[in-house]
Structure 1
């Protein structure tokens, strides 16, 4: 078992994330994992990411507050315990337009699965 205490989770600094604090809960520098890693991002009021895509799918769960997720197809506001999945290659931007911090759980595989 690998335990990561939230207050000891290693911070990481992804590009194009503004007014956000990102920590890893499992995987990468937070410890061993085979298929996916978990992180939590805290978006301060006004915090955002730019519109970018990743080669692997992403799953988000809002843990606190409200986060707007924009894609090329539109935008949706996610509230506490709402979730979304973004497909590989799907561009997204995150925004905290509220006056309170928001927290978002991220689950992502390490690499794109091999074609079947």
Structure 2
């Protein structure tokens, strides 16, 4: 068993992310994992990510607040607002942008395969 207390979860940075505090809850530098890693992000008002794609799928679960997700695959663009306990899957090679368009922080759980 690997326990990671929230206040001891390692902070990390990622390119194209601004106005966010990101912690690894499991996997990578937070401990061993064979299949995936889990992150927790607090996105401040006006914060978020640039639009980018990767070769792996990503899962997002909103824990608190409201998150705008813009996904683009070819000419198809989807924009949705996720609220607490809403989730979405981003396909491999699907560009995504996360935006906090509200005046309150939004907390998001992220699950990604280890190969990313």
Query: Normalised by the size of structure 1, how large is the TM-score?
Result: 0.94
Q: Which residue of 1 aligns with 2:36?
A: 36
The Cα offsets for residues 16-67 of structure 1, whole Å up to 9 and x where unpaired, read as 0010011000000000000000000100000110000111000000011000
Counterpart check, 1:98 vs 2:102? yes
Instruction: Please identify runs of 4+ aligned residues in structure 1 that moved more than 2 A.
Output: none
Report SS of the residue matched to 1:92.
strand
Q: Which runs of 5+ in 1 are unaligned?
A: none
Q: Which residue of 2 aligns with 1:79?
A: 83
Report SS of the residue matched to 2:51.
coil
Backbone CA RMSD of aligned residues? 0.9
The Cα offsets for residues 57-97 of structure 1, whole Å up to 9 and x where unpaired, read as 00000011000000122200000000000011110000000
Q: Residues of 2 paired with 1:38 and 1:8: CA distance? A: 14
User: How many positions carry a matched residue from both structures?
Assistant: 112
Counterpart check, 1:25 vs 2:25? yes
Q: Residues of 2 paired with 1:49 and 1:65: CA distance? A: 16
Report SS of the residue matched to 1:94.
strand
Q: Residues of 1 paired with 2:115 and 2:7: CA distance? A: 27
Q: Which runs of 5+ in 2 are unaligned?
A: none
